[in-house]
Structure formats: structure tokens, C-alpha cells
Amino acid sequence: MRRYLAENPDAPDAHEVKKLLARLEFRKAADANSVYAWRLFLERFGDTALAVDAKLELEKLLFEQAVRKNSIQALEAFLRSNPRSRLAGEARKRLDRLECLRLEKLDDLDRLERQARRQLPCREKLKKRLVELRFRKAMEDGSPTALFEFVELHGDTEEGTSAKKRLAAMRCGALVHAADFSAALSLSRLHPDACPEDEVVRAMLTWKMLDFAAGASRPPKTRQGRKYAHFLEKWK
């Protein structure tokens, strides 16, 4: 039949012969059920009524291949080649899940900040991961400024509570260093874990003993200590 059509393309029965040949070739492609077989069918009979079914079968095989590879690249390639496929929705869901698994382990703060704005199913998890990375960065920096900035952004989180505790401990140390024990004791009542009262009292007694041993000539509170404590006063 293929030879007949090639030699008599304008014959009165050419259309019917092609339809019959298409049905026969469709069955052969279905028996083989391979990407190559369906692509070959579409190349030869892409203008027939069976082309729609052939495309669906081809898309199904390509989708199954992408799923078996289970990679972002494979699913992206499927979507680029078959953007209107009935399987495109499922492919995007699988792609989003793989993206989430990758991003949840990401340690690059800048990249994560960009990706966290995407409408992914794991968006809330990414935001939590973002808080964790920002907290780690602030703690590694260790400066009051870095901790203040973190608290302003995430003060209502578990990490925010830890940052506040760290700031309270820093302020407590600064007040003790400045010999401002009254303020340190007030702070210990607000933040007993970060500024233990017994440690403040012990430091105060030690300072008084040293002061007495020096002839009761109390030295002035250090300028550096007062300045640091004043800076930390911004946060309470």
C-alpha cells in the first residue's frame, strides 16, 4: 500500500488507502510501544485522525522516561517539549517536589532568598530554612548590629528568641563591665537565663572587695563599658 500511494498520490481511492495504511501502522506502533515507533508513525501519518492518539501515547512514554530518571533536568526537558501535554500538570508537580528537596538543603543564603519567593508547595519550609541561615549568619557575625537586624526580621521565631537571649547576655556583660550593677540586676529580673542574678551579685561583690582592697577609691565606670551598654539599650 505504501508503494501504491507513492506511485498514485492523486488516485481516487488514495485517501481511503492512506487511512487503512495508517490503521495498520498504528497497530504496529502500538505493539512496539516505543518512542521510536510512535515518532516514526507521526512522521508518516501526522496528518491523519490517528495522530492525536499517537501523540498521547508518545507523551506518555516520554513522561515515564522522565519519571524514571527522577531528575529536574529530565522533567524540565519533558515540559519544554510537551508544554500542552495532559501530563504537564503532573510533571510540574513532580518537578516542584524535586526542586523543594534540593532547595531545603541549600546553604547559599542569597540563592535561597531568591528561590523562597517562588510559588512552590514547600514555600513555608523554605522560609523556615531562610530564617535558620540568617540566624546562623548573625550568630557567626556575633555583633550586636547583626543580632539586632535578625531580631527585627524574625523576633517572633524560635531563633529570634535565641538571638534576644544572646543580646541580653551581651548587655548584661557590658553593664557588669561598666560596674552598673543596679542596671544589671534589673536586667537579670527580665532575662534570668541570659543574665543570672547570682553571677551579677558575685561580680558586684568581687568588684567591691577589689575596691575596698584598693583603699575604697572607687574607679569611675569605664567609658567603653558605658558606651557598649548604651548601644545594647536599644533592645530590651
Summarised one tens digit per residue, pLDDT across range 24-47 is 889 999 999 999 999 999 998 898
> Does residue 198 contact residue 184 with C-beta atoms inside 8 Å?
no
Same-domain status, 218 and 147 = yes
Give domain status of residue 90, yes or no.
no
Sign of CA dihedral 91, 95, 96, 101: positive
> Does residue 69 contact residue 91 with C-beta atoms inside 8 Å?
no
* Domain stops at, among 59, 81, 103: 81
Q: How many CB atoms lie within 10 A of CB 31?
A: 9
Residue 31 has a pLDDT of: 95
Supply 221's cell numbers.
565606670
Residue 233 has a pLDDT of: 59
Which pLDDT tens digit goes with each residue over 98-143? 988 888 888 888 888 887 778 888 888 888 999 999 999 999 999 9
* Domain stops at, among 81, 98, 113: 81
Cα atoms found within 13 Å of the Cα of residue 68, Cβ hemisphere only? 6
Residue with cell 522533567: 75
Give domain status of residue 94, yes or no.
no
Q: How many CB atoms lie within 10 A of CB 37?
A: 20
Task: Compute the mean pLDDT over every residue in the chain, rounded to the nearest whole number.
Answer: 83
Give domain status of residue 185, yes or no.
yes
Give domain status of residue 37, yes or no.
yes
> Does residue 29 contact residue 54 with C-beta atoms inside 8 Å?
yes
* Domain stops at, among 81, 98, 127: 81
Amino acid letter, residue 168: A
Please give, one letter per residue, the 3-state secondary structure of 213-224: HCCCCCCCCCHH
Give domain status of residue 69, yes or no.
yes
Supply 235's cell numbers.
533592645
> Does residue 104 contact residue 129 with C-beta atoms inside 8 Å?
yes
Supply 70's cell numbers.
527522577
Residue 14 has a pLDDT of: 46
Domain housing 206: 142-232
Give domain status of residue 42, yes or no.
yes
Give domain status of residue 206, yes or no.
yes
Q: Return all residues near 18 (Cβ < 8 A) that are at least 6 apart.
A: 5, 45, 48
Same-domain status, 77 and 148 = no
Average pLDDT per 10 consecutive residues for the chain, totaling 236 residues: 50 57 88 95 90 95 96 96 94 93 84 82 88 94 93 94 93 87 90 91 82 51 54 54
Phi-psi region of 218 (alpha: psi -120 to 50; beta: other; left: phi over 0): beta
Phi-psi region of 118 (alpha: psi -120 to 50; beta: other; left: phi over 0): beta
Residues composing the chain? 236
Count up the domains in the chain and report the number. Answer: 2
